[in-house]
Amino acid sequence: MRYDFGSDNTAGMAPSALRALNAANAGFMRAYGADDVTARAAELIRERLDADAEVRFVFSGTAANAIALSMLAWPFEAVLAHQAAHVCTDETGAPGFFGQGLGLIGLPGFSGKIDPRALAAVLEEPEVGHRQPPAALSLTQSTEYGAVYTAEELRHLIEPVKARGYGVHLDGARLANAAAAGFDLKDIARLGVDVLVLGGAKAGGLCTEALVLFDKSLVRRLDNRLKQAGQTASKARFLAAPLLGLLESGEWEGGAAHANLMAQRLAAGVATRSPFILAHPVEANAVFVRMPARAHQALNDAGWACYRFDDGSVRFVCSWATTEEAVDELIDAVAALS
C-alpha cells in the first residue's frame, strides 16, 4: 500500500526539521523547556505571528486543542465548532476529558467553514439550566475540508463571539498551508484569537504542536496543567527543535506551499481526466473527490491509500514530500477507473 496521499501525517520529517533535531542532540542542555532551542523556537513563532504570546510545545494536536478548550470553558459550558472539526469528530472526547465535562456544539457550513448564520442562531438562543451554554468558539485554519478562511470571514465569526465575552481557539494543525495560500498569520492576534495551536507534525516536523496563548491571563499555572496532562517533556528541546528548523529554514511555509501546489496539480488532473468531480474547492493541500464505493475500493486494491471522509467524498492529502511523479501516477490510476 502506498501512503503518499493517505495523510500529510504519513510523510517523514522535512530535511530542516531532521537537521535541527540532530543538532539539538549535541551536548547537554537544561531540561523541561528551559533550554535555548525551545526559547528560540518560541521567539520565532512570536515573530511570525507579530504578537507577544506565551508559547509551549506539546506532544499532539489533540492534547493541545483539548487543553486550550479547557482553558476557555467551564465543565458546565460548551464550545462552538464546525460539526466536522477535528475536536468534534476525531479526538475521542478529549476536550470533555481535559475539560472535565465541557461540551461541544457542532455547527454546519460548507467545506468546513462555519456558516455565520448558524453561529448567530445559536448565540441568540436563550440560556436555560438544562443544557450547556456556549462559552467559546473553536475555528480550524485550514479547515478539515481544505478550505482557507479569509481574515474577513474570520472576523464575522469572531466579533459576535467576543462581544459576548466568549473565548476563541484556533486549531492550526494545517496553518502552514493556510499561510502558503495567502492567509496573513499576523491577523490571528489582531482578530482576537485567545489560544492558537500552531501545527508542526503535518508541516514536516516530528510530533510537536505549539500551544500559543495570546491572552496571557490564561497562563497562570499553565505549566502545572501541562504537567498533570502528561504534556511536559523533560527533554523539551527535542519537541521544539524540528519546528525551529522548519521556521529558520522557511520550510514551514515552503513545504506547505509545495503541498498546496501538488494538490492543485492533482485536482486539475482528476477534473480533466476522470469522470469524477471535486467535492470541495482546493485551497490548501487536500483534494476531495466524489466517487462510488467500487471505484474507491479499486483504488485501494491498486495500492493507493485514501480514505472516505465524513461527507462521503474520498480524501487525498499532499505533503511537503509529495512528488510530481506520484501525483501523475495517482491521476493515471484514477483516470483508469473510468
Alpha carbon distances (Å) from 156 to 14, 47, 64: 36, 26, 25
pTM: 0.97
Q: Which CATH class for the 251-335 domain?
A: alpha beta
* Measured CA angle at 152 (ends 320, 73), to 5 deg: 80
- Say which residue the cell 496553518 belongs to: 175
Residue 170 · residue 193 · CB < 8 Å = yes
pLDDT of residue 301: 96
pLDDT, tens only, 287-329? 999 999 999 999 999 999 999 999 999 999 999 999 999 999 9
The answer to whether residue 92 scores a pLDDT higher than 90 is: yes
Tell me the average pLDDT across 240-258.
98
Please check the confidence at residue 338 and state whether its pLDDT lies above 80: no
pLDDT band at 33 (very low <50, low <70, confident <90, very high): very high
Domain with CATH 3.90.1150.10 in the chain: 251-335
pLDDT band at 158 (very low <50, low <70, confident <90, very high): very high
Q: Average pLDDT, stretch 264-270?
A: 98
Q: pLDDT above 70 covers what percent of the chain?
A: 100
pLDDT value of position 129: 93
- Neighbour tally for 219: CB within 10 Å: 13
Residue-level pLDDT at 95:
97
In this prediction, residue 239 carries a pLDDT of: 95
What pLDDT, on the 0 to 100 scale, is given for residue 315? 98
The three-state secondary structure class of 187 is helix
Give the per-residue pLDDT at 221.
Answer: 94
Q: Are 266 and 318 in contact (CB under 8 A)?
A: yes
76: confidence class by pLDDT, cuts 50, 70, 90: very high
Assess whether pLDDT exceeds 90 at residue 139: yes
Cα–Cα distance, 299 to 332 (Å, whole number): 11
CA distances from 70 to 94, 104, 139 (A): 10, 11, 15
pLDDT at 147: 98
pLDDT tens for residues 105-114?
999 999 999 9
Q: What is the pLDDT of residue 133?
A: 97
Residue 335 CB coordination number (10 Å): 15
Interior angle at CA 11, CA 88 and CA 54, nearest 5: 55
Kindly state the average pLDDT of the residues 150-159. Answer: 98
pLDDT band, residue 55 (cuts 50/70/90): very high
Q: Where in the chain is the domain with CATH 3.40.640.10?
A: 15-249
Please, what is the average pLDDT of the chain? 97
Cα–Cα dist 66/277, whole Å: 35
Give the Cα separation of 82 and 71 in Å (integer): 19
Find where cell 502528561 sits: 230
Three-state helix/strand/coil letters over 163-176: HCCCEEEEEECCHH
Please say whether the structural domain 15-249 has been given the CATH code 3.40.50.620: no
